[in-house]
Amino acid sequence: MNHQGKKPLKVIDIQCTRFVEPLKQAFSDAGLWVFQSFDLRSTRALHDGCTCPYHGTSQCTCELVVLLVYRALGDPITLVLDGSDEQTYIFINDERGTSVRPATMEMIERIISQAAYTLTRQGEGIENNKLLNI
């Protein structure tokens, strides 16, 4: 997916489909409400013969999940998880560029890192436990 030159908030070495539920749980544990508004794999499954523009076949490993994270006040924060193979790039979609406070960004990064760490510690078949901060 083209993120218009945006730098990911985090890159983790975990397959996106393995990471979505633990991440949603981590946000919930932190007192935030999460709604999954889009899943590319589910959408692609509804269309026969859908080929990937990157892989050229229907046997695509691309994943895209959009999560809306709700706090007690304010608009939801839109997280985009863009994955392929065993990596997931996590972006905050902040079109205005300033609507997410630095403290909130730090909290989101901590929650993501904690979810990734917990998942790798549970031995979900992940060979590389390294987290990359980009």
17 domain residue, yes or no: yes
118 domain residue, yes or no: no
Domain that holds residue 44: 1-99
Q: How confident is the model at residue 122 (pLDDT cuts 50, 70, 90)?
A: confident
Contact 23, 124 (CB under 8 A): no
DSSP the chain: ---TTPPPSEEESS-HHHHHHHHHHHHHHTT-EEEEEEEHHHHHHTSTT---TTTSSS---EEEEEEEEE-SSSSPEEEEEEEETTEEEEEEE-TTSSSS-HHHHHHHHHHHHHHHHHHHHTT-S-S---EE--
What pLDDT score was predicted for residue 129? 40
Give the count of domains, the chain. Answer: 1
29 domain residue, yes or no: yes
50 domain residue, yes or no: yes
Q: What is the pLDDT of residues 75-92, one digit of tens each?
A: 899 999 998 878 999 999
Q: What is the pLDDT of residues 1-53, one digit of tens each?
A: 556 668 899 999 999 989 999 999 999 999 999 999 877 766 555 556 666 66
Model pTM score = 0.78
113 domain residue, yes or no: no
68 domain residue, yes or no: yes
30 domain residue, yes or no: yes
What pLDDT score was predicted for residue 125? 47
